[in-house]
């Protein structure tokens, strides 16, 4: 477990008032360690394994395929027949091999076996000539010896997965193909990491929950819903702690409760410079928390560190803490580009880099060098297969509709200045993200 001193040392190299996104990501990466205790592992059946993180390598207990079999519908024969030098081969059909119904005797030197895809290659045979390259008359076939090479159209035992070799590695997030693959090995149960538990709440006296009436100056809390949705997509357990008023006692209660019950605590709002000093004071009394101004837009203010549930920092249960900014778009941008990787790492997953596509900017965009900007974009694929992207309308960090309108983030790197139409830009598609 990292200590307060280590935290300060880790954070001290950076200027908290102008932290580049990459530096923030680095620090978070160092702090987001997978939980390694045995108690964090459980065994689940195949259906329940989808989307979970494998806790152990899966070693193949069998060869897949388990036997040499045909890759085509055609005729199996011994390739020696090809080396006799004749330009055409004439073979007699000795029988038929079907998938699940093998032909068990070796055919003679001038014989072959009618074979269907997936059927066991009969003894003595090593090659399959596809049926469309053959002329058949009664029980005889003829084909050009140039039609096929020795060993062709045969799937070898263990070619897909070899017995004793790892089929899937620990840290993998189980996908559809993996479920099929596990089934193909006859495995019905796997060891996975227990789901991470993430507690979250919103802060702000102005916030109302859905179902309440808005009074002048109040607004509905949307962050708890976007956070819930983004967390669900990462397959973590969520604890919604509601709206917390802007006062020390309420915040302290929420933070303690969250730290008692979760591996990670995420709040939104209340971390900008203007916010009451009690936030800062309180977080420092409950743990090691650094307040950053990240050189990113949206998402400049952010608090990050470790909280403890005990009387003092270093006592009781601990949880990683992310204090996200209040603005709804900033919550989403900081979640995807700062928090996401930490949650995956703590879940035991190997790194899952976001898919980045190179696109052409359809129009000019103002961009200030010295910060990373995550603009909302609409990307389309041109007839020639290139992606081009336009920004959605107003890019204010409170304009949540820009996220619903967009289908990607346009990532404008730290050092970059204004963008001209026709420039290359990186986009991160929302598909699979949102
Ligand atoms: P803050 O970071 O607390 O200063 O909040 C910045 C802006 O985001 C303010 O305009 C807040 O009203 C707004 N905001 C904060 N939390 C939420 C929330 N949960 N849902 C919607 N808007 C919010
Ligand atoms: Mg606030």
The size of the chain, in residues, is: 434
What would the mean pLDDT of 146-162 be, rounded to a whole number? Answer: 96
Q: What digits encode the pLDDT tens for the residues 222-261?
A: 999 999 999 999 999 999 999 999 999 999 999 999 999 9
> With a 6 A CB cut-off, is 222 part of the ligand 1 pocket?
yes
Confidence of residue 203 (pLDDT cuts 50, 70, 90): very high
268, 272, 400: residue to mutate for ligand 1 pocket, most atoms within 8 A of CB: 268
Residues 423 and 426: their CA atoms lie apart, in Å, by 10
List of domains in the chain = 4-35+196-346 (3.40.980.10), 43-63+168-193 (3.90.105.10), 69-155 (2.170.190.11), 357-429 (2.40.340.10)
> With a 6 A CB cut-off, is 206 part of the ligand 1 pocket?
yes
pLDDT, residue 225, reads 98
Cβ-in-10-Å burial (0-12, 13-18, 19+) of 1 comes to exposed
Confidence of residue 37 (pLDDT cuts 50, 70, 90): low
Task: Outline where DSSP puts E strands in 255-414.
Answer: 264-268, 287-293, 296-297, 301-308, 318-324, 357-361, 372-381, 387-391, 408-412
**Least confident stretch, 105-119, 182-196, 269-283, 403-417:** 269-283
pLDDT, residue 246, reads 92
Contact (CB, 8 A) for 74 and 127: no
Q: Which residue has the tokens 């062709």?
A: 152
Three-state DSSP class for residue 157 = coil
pLDDT, residue 285, reads 87
Nearest CA to ligand 1 atom 5: 326
Whether the CA torsion 65, 71, 73, 79 is positive or negative: it is negative
For residue 217, what are the contacts with CB-CB under 8 A and spacing of at least 6?
206
What would the mean pLDDT of 2-6 be, rounded to a whole number? Answer: 68
Kindly give the distance from the C-alpha atom of residue 247 to the centroid of ligand 2, in angstroms, as a whole number: 11
Number of CB atoms found within 10 A of residue 360's CB = 15
**Does pLDDT of 7 surpass 80?**
no
For residue 188, what are the contacts with CB-CB under 8 A and spacing of at least 6?
45, 46, 182
Q: Is 52 left (phi over 0), alpha (psi -120 to 50) or beta?
A: beta
Confidence of residue 36 (pLDDT cuts 50, 70, 90): low
Cα angle 287-293-297, degrees, rounded to a multiple of 5: 130
Q: How many CA atoms lie within 13 A of 196 on its CB side?
A: 32
More confidently predicted of 85 and 103: 103
- Closest by alpha carbon to 290, among 323, 330, 254? 323
Dihedral angle computed from the Cα positions of residues 263, 268, 271 and 276, in that order, rounded to the nearest 10 degrees = -110
pLDDT, residue 14, reads 76
Question: Over pLDDT 70: what percentage of the chain?
Answer: 97
Kindly give the distance from the C-alpha atom of residue 217 to the centroid of ligand 2, in angstroms, as a whole number: 13
Write down the pTM of the prediction: 0.90
| Phi, psi (rounded to 5 degrees) for 430 | -70, -25
Confidence of residue 13 (pLDDT cuts 50, 70, 90): confident
pLDDT, residue 361, reads 97
Q: What digits encode the pLDDT tens for the residues 258-316?
A: 999 999 999 999 988 777 678 888 888 899 999 899 999 999 999 999 999 888 778 88
Question: Over pLDDT 90: what percentage of the chain?
Answer: 84
More confidently predicted of 44 and 272: 44
What would the mean pLDDT of 362-390 be, rounded to a whole number? Answer: 95
pLDDT, residue 1, reads 52
For residue 246, what are the CA distances in angstroms to 108, 219, 299?
89, 15, 20
Cis peptide bond upstream of 61, omega within 30: no
Contact (CB, 8 A) for 371 and 193: no
Contact (CB, 8 A) for 346 and 336: no
Cα angle 319-325-326, degrees, rounded to a multiple of 5: 115
Average pLDDT score over the chain: 93
> With a 6 A CB cut-off, is 407 part of the ligand 1 pocket?
no
> With a 6 A CB cut-off, is 34 part of the ligand 1 pocket?
no
Whether the CA torsion 274, 201, 316, 318 is positive or negative: it is negative
Nearest CA to ligand 1 atom 17: 326
Confidence of residue 432 (pLDDT cuts 50, 70, 90): low
Residues 255 and 34: their CA atoms lie apart, in Å, by 22
**Does pLDDT of 434 surpass 60?**
no
Kindly give the distance from the C-alpha atom of residue 327 to the centroid of ligand 2, in angstroms, as a whole number: 9
> With a 6 A CB cut-off, is 327 part of the ligand 1 pocket?
yes
List CB-based neighbours of ion ligand 2 within 5 Å: 204, 269-270, 326
Cis peptide bond upstream of 264, omega within 30: no
Residues 41 and 70: their CA atoms lie apart, in Å, by 41
Q: How many helices (H) and strands (E) does the chain have?
A: 10, 26
């Amino acid at each position: 477990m990292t200590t307060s001193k280590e935290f300060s040392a880790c954070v001290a190299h950076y200027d908290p008032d102008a932290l580049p996104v990459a530096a923030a990501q680095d620090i978070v990466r160092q702090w987001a360690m997978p939980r390694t205790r045995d108690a964090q592992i459980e065994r689940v059946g195949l259906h329940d394994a989808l989307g979970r993180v494998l806790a152990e390598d899966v070693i193949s207990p069998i060869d897949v395929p388990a036997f040499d079999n045909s890759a085509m519908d055609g005729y199996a024969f011994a390739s020696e027949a090809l080396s006799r030098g004749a330009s055409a081969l004439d073979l007699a059909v000795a029988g038929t091999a079907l998938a699940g119904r093998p032909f068990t005797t070796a055919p003679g030197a001038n014989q072959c076996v009618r074979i269907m895809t997936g059927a066991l290659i009969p003894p003595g045979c090593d090659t399959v000539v596809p049926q469309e390259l053959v002329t058949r008359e009664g029980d005889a076939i003829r084909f050009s010896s140039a039609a096929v090479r020795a060993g062709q159209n045969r799937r070898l035992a263990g070619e897909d997965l070899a017995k004793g070799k790892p089929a899937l590695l620990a840290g993998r997030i189980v996908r559809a193909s993996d479920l099929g693959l596990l089934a193909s090995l006859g495995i019905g149960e796997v060891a996975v990491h227990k789901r991470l538990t993430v507690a979250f709440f919103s802060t702000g006296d102005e916030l109302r929950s859905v179902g309440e009436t808005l009074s002048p100056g109040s607004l509905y809390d949307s962050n708890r819903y976007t956070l819930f949705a983004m967390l669900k997509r990462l397959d973590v357990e969520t604890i919604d702690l509601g709206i917390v008023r802007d006062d020390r006692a309420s915040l302290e209660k929420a933070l303690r409760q969250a730290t008692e019950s979760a591996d990670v605590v995420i709040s939104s709002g209340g971390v900008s410079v203007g916010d009451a000093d009690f936030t800062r004071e309180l977080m420092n009394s409950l743990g090691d928390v650094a307040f950053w101004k990240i050189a990113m837009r949206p998402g400049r203010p952010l608090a990050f560190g470790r909280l403890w549930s005990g009387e003092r920092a270093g006592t009781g249960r601990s949880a990683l803490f992310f204090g996200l900014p209040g603005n709804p778009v900033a919550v989403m941008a900081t979640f995807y580009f700062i928090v996401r990787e930490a949650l995956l790492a703590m879940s035991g997953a190997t790194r899952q880099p976001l898919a980045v596509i190179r696109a052409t900017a359809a129009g000019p965009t103002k961009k200030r060098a010295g910060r990373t900007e995550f603009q909302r974009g609409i990307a389309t694929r041109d007839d020639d297969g290139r992606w081009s992207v336009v920004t959605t309308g107003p890019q204010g960090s409170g304009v949540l509709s820009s996220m619903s309108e967009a289908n990607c983030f346009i990532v404008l790197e730290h050092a970059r200045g204004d963008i001209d139409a026709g420039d290359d830009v990186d986009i991160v598609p929302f598909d699979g993200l949102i």
